[in-house]
Amino acid sequence: MTSQTLFAEARRYIPGGVNSPVRAFRGVGGEPFFVDRAKGAHIWDIEGKEYIDYVGTWGPAILGHAPGVIQEAIAAAALKGVSFGIPNPLEVEMARTITEWVPSIKKVRMVNSGTEATMSSIRLARGFTGRDKIVKFEGCYHGHVDSLLVKAGSGALTHGQPDSAGVPAALAQLTITLPFNDPEALRAIFAREGSQIAAVIVEPIPANAGLYLPRPGFLELLRELCSAYDALLIFDEVMTGFRLARGGYQERCGITPDLTALGKIIGGGLPVGAFGGRAEIMDQLSPDGPVYQAGTLSGNPLAMAAGLAQLHELERLNAWDKLEAIGAEFEEGTRVALKKAGRDYVFQRIGSMFCLYFTSGEVWNLADAQRSDRAGFARYFHACREAGVYFAPSQFEAGFLSLAHTSEDLVKTAQIVERALGA
């Protein structure tokens, strides 16, 4: 069976043939391939073709694919039972580890996905403050939550319209969408509606529209305004948590959110999410408080075992210095390739996350990112894929490096990137 025939079969039974939209290759054209196996920084499709992988399960594979420590942890946990629906010791160990590593989190609750984490954080913020409105930023994706699938209207301060069928317009009206890195818009909306805002949710490093960084002072202003108006600040660190530092990006930037959403790395490749924050806020959750949230598989022992094994291995290896070095080497190779190919495209990186925008000039927000040459990116993507390098099949997704990427991988990638840019 080939990927082509399997995709045709998949389309008979699965909407679009995929279980998550970006996998369908609609952003680059063509059809997806199907993976047979993965190890380290490499994946092999069902036809045997090998790729150097820079998707990394969209973030969780920070140690690389199929690391022995995680495989062993899952196997050992499975021998005792794959799920209980009853408290198990690994849940407590994970909660203790998270609160020790992330100082802003005093209590934490496990869920099964990043979407659940952000959804629950929003409900909790509304319950704690007694307010209904939330603020989000263009280009920041927080999962397929009704309240968060909203885009901006005609102006920076207009209330949103649904960004997906099935999202009631009345619910969208409670979400205000602003441009990222726009302090004037932020000040204006708080001056106008601050007393009605329950929370501001933000990816402190937006990584779902490529990758762009906060301007100096922007996140600090966000913290200041939330505190002044008694609104909660929610950091969505589903991608950046435990990847950019032991304590997440909030450790690097020195800003303390009220709530934090986590996922990906704390599951070691298994479905997982978590949200946590100040104790007085978290104590509003059922069964202690009036905000209801539940999950049959929350704290699943396999996911907890895999995530704990990954976190402990990251700490044992002092992984963040190593990831920074790998990221710097990858960046150097990419910039040399850009220069040799005569391209002035924007390359952005922080730690082991990166994006190559097919545009010139600075990229600070979604509008800047959308200047990118999507057709040019699609040609580049397919050229890299044909040569054995797999990047995310969209201009507007971040790439991920892992501890398993070797200098040999990075050198080969830079050579392929240079040829693909020149095509």
Catalytic residue numbers, as ranges: 141, 236, 264
H or E element: which one contains 257? none
Token duo for residue 240: 């950046």
H or E element: which one contains 44? strand 42-45
What does the DSSP 8-state code read for residue 21?
G
CA 360, chain centre distance (Å): 25
From the CB of residue 339, how many other CB atoms can be counted at a distance below 10 Å? 12
Token duo for residue 358: 């097919």
H or E element: which one contains 73? helix 68-80
Q: What CA–CA distance (Å, rounded) separates 395 from 139?
A: 13
Compute the C-alpha angle 234/177/219, nearest 5°.
45
Token duo for residue 206: 């937006």
- Asked whether the beta carbons of 108 and 338 are under 8 A apart, the reply is no
Q: What CA–CA distance (Å, rounded) separates 86 from 31?
A: 42
Residue partners of 173: CB distance under 8 A and separation at least 6: 159, 160
Q: What CA–CA distance (Å, rounded) separates 112 from 117?
A: 8
- Asked whether the beta carbons of 304 and 80 are under 8 A apart, the reply is no
Q: What CA–CA distance (Å, rounded) separates 246 from 305?
A: 18
- Asked whether the beta carbons of 211 and 334 are under 8 A apart, the reply is no
β-bridge partners, 137: 178
- Asked whether the beta carbons of 307 and 390 are under 8 A apart, the reply is no
Token duo for residue 395: 């201009």
Q: What CA–CA distance (Å, rounded) separates 307 from 295?
A: 18
Q: What CA–CA distance (Å, rounded) separates 67 from 31?
A: 29
